[in-house]
């Protein structure tokens, strides 16, 4: 019996249930006319778990089972747009409470991933999370196979830049001077990167290459304990003002393990942000195309106590130089994050004194939370477990 509803309407109904897999399965089984639309959503995003060990080398894995499904129903491969691959540390089995690891497997032995790249013509997004090991060259080269791929996420893996240049998504990679490669991704929209003194130089070259397109930049400063103080003081300041399309800038953990490290990193951060000041004639082209820029300085709970009155006063001076383009400055934090710098009962007053110029301009907003009243649902709220400073700047003429 055919349904009486038009196909366009049933498609809209199925689309409305696209986030509910159980409802999609029910629709797929309800009538054969519902099946194609339901399958489009069910197979749009695929997640694969790659175990570190198997009972035997011939044991079935999620990748092999997926390949069997596509072998029986090839049309389903056309539905896949997002592929997530996670390598996990997992024993082959447990026998009477005893762990049996079995045969080593992991990404290095998962040949099915390369086969998948050949049969997913509409794959647009790959997200791969490893276990802090080198990614096999065969897998990296396989990322060059999907012709419409435009998002590539690699987490906790090591990949030589020389291999990445074979990927179509990154085909603009070009050899640089010195050692390694400078990145010239002229169409890059979003970038997240952890940097050290050496990486800061390479990152400058990358940013100049995508200055006309980059909209989001997330910079995470690596643990300063593995860098010398000399390295910190010679770090290249990043050319934020050259990024004419930038809308969101996040700098994480700009603090060090000692007061001297913190002082060096804070100076580097302020010098990089200083290029955004209105009075900088050299970088006046910044205000040509954009409307607003959101700057977030995210300081973890364990490092927030190393900042003192001087650091905040220096930032306040930078905010004053951004006037009149400065729209707002919001400081979020908790009552325990500043116990070394300020008395607990005077945190709000002390922060107002540190940001006196921003307060005088009427742009300062303080959000200080008592950690004893924080619930379990607030764990991910920025600022509750550290200091989170959000600056919004108008960047139009």
In order, the DSSP letters of 110-138 are -THHHHHHHH-TT--EEEEEEEEEEPPHH
Place of tokens 């998948």: 116
Cβ neighbours for 100, distance < 8 A, ≥ 6 positions apart: 91, 92, 93, 94
Q: What is the pTM of this model?
A: 0.56
Cβ neighbours for 387, distance < 8 A, ≥ 6 positions apart: 297, 299, 304, 307, 331, 332, 333, 337, 338
pLDDT on residue 1 = 44
Q: 180-397: which CATH number, 3.30.70, 3.90.550, 3.30.230, 3.80.10?
A: 3.80.10
Are 320 and 363 a contacting pair, CB within 8 Å? no
Range with the lowest mean pLDDT among 62-66, 160-164, 321-325? 160-164
Cβ neighbours for 32, distance < 8 A, ≥ 6 positions apart: none
pLDDT on residue 234 = 63
Place of tokens 């409305």: 16
Phi/psi of residue 26, nearest 5 degrees: -65, -40
pLDDT greater at residue 336 or residue 34 = 34
Phi/psi of residue 53, nearest 5 degrees: -140, 150
pLDDT greater at residue 200 or residue 111 = 111
Range with the lowest mean pLDDT among 116-130, 278-292, 294-308? 278-292
Q: Tell me the CA distances in angstroms from 87 to 18, 108, 130, 135, 139, one per residue in order.
A: 27, 10, 5, 11, 13
pLDDT greater at residue 157 or residue 145 = 145
Asked whether the predicted pLDDT for residue 145 surpasses 70, the reply is yes
Average pLDDT across the chain, whole number: 75
Report the distance separating Cα 355 and Cα 366, nearest Å. 10
Are 299 and 253 a contacting pair, CB within 8 Å? yes
pLDDT on residue 134 = 77
Q: Tell me the CA distances in angstroms from 285 to 204, 206, 274, 316, one per residue in order.
A: 18, 19, 15, 24
Joined together, the tokens standing for residue 133 give 């090991």
* Total residues found in the chain within this entry: 397
Report the distance separating Cα 96 and Cα 151, nearest Å. 44
Number of C-beta neighbours around residue 118 at 10 A: 11
Peptide bond into 324 cis (omega under 30): yes
Report the distance separating Cα 270 and Cα 389, nearest Å. 13
Q: Tell me the CA distances in angstroms from 380 to 343, 385, 386, one per residue in order.
A: 25, 9, 11
pLDDT on residue 171 = 44
Asked whether the predicted pLDDT for residue 31 surpasses 80, the reply is yes
Report the distance separating Cα 199 and Cα 381, nearest Å. 30
Range with the lowest mean pLDDT among 139-148, 180-189, 192-201, 206-215? 180-189
Report the distance separating Cα 134 and Cα 377, nearest Å. 36
Give strand ranges (E) for the chain: 45-51, 53-54, 82-88, 93-95, 98-100, 103-104, 125-134, 151-158, 174-175, 181-182, 190-195, 216-221, 248-252, 292-300, 326-334, 364-369, 386-394
């Amino acid at each position: 019996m055919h349904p009486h509803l038009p196909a366009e309407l049933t498609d809209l109904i199925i689309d409305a249930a696209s986030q509910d897999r159980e409802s999609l399965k029910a629709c797929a089984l309800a009538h054969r006319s519902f099946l194609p639309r339901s399958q489009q959503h069910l197979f749009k995003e695929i997640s694969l778990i790659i175990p570190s060990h198997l009972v035997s080398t011939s044991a079935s894995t999620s990748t092999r089972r997926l390949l069997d499904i596509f072998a029986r129903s090839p049309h389903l491969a056309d539905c896949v747009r997002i592929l997530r691959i996670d390598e996990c540390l997992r024993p082959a089995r447990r026998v009477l409470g005893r762990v049996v690891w079995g045969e080593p497997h992991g990404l290095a032995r998962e040949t099915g991933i390369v086969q998948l790249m050949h049969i997913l013509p509409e794959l647009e997004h790959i997200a791969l999370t490893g276990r802090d090991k080198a990614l096999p060259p065969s897998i990296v080269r396989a990322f060059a196979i999907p012709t419409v791929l435009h998002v590539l996420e690699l987490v906790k893996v090591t990949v030589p830049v020389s291999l990445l240049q074979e990927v179509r998504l990154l085909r603009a990679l070009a050899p640089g001077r010195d050692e390694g490669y400078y990145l010239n991704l002229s169409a890059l929209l979003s970038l997240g990167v952890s940097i050290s003194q050496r990486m800061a130089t390479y990152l400058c070259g990358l940013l100049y290459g995508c200055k006309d397109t980059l909209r989001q930049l997330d910079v995470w400063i690596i643990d300063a304990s593995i860098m010398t103080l000399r390295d910190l003081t010679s770090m290249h300041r990043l050319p934020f003002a050259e990024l004419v399309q930038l809308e969101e800038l996040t700098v994480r953990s700009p603090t060090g393990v000692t007061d001297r490290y913190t002082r060096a990193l804070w100076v580097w951060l302020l010098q990089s942000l200083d290029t955004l000041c209105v009075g900088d004639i050299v970088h006046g082209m910044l205000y040509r195309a954009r409307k607003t820029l959101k700057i977030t300085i995210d300081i973890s709970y364990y490092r927030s106590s190393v900042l003192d009155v001087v650091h905040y006063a220096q930032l306040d001076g930078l905010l004053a130089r951004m006037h009149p383009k400065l729209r707002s400055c919001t400081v979020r934090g908790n009552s325990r994050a500043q116990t070394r710098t300020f008395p607990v009962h005077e945190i709000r007053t002390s922060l107002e004194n540190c940001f006196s110029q921003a307060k005088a301009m009427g742009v300062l907003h303080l959000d200080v939370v008592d950690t004893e009243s924080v619930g379990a649902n607030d764990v991910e709220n920025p600022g509750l477990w550290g200091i989170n400073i959000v600056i919004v700047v108008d960047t139009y003429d």
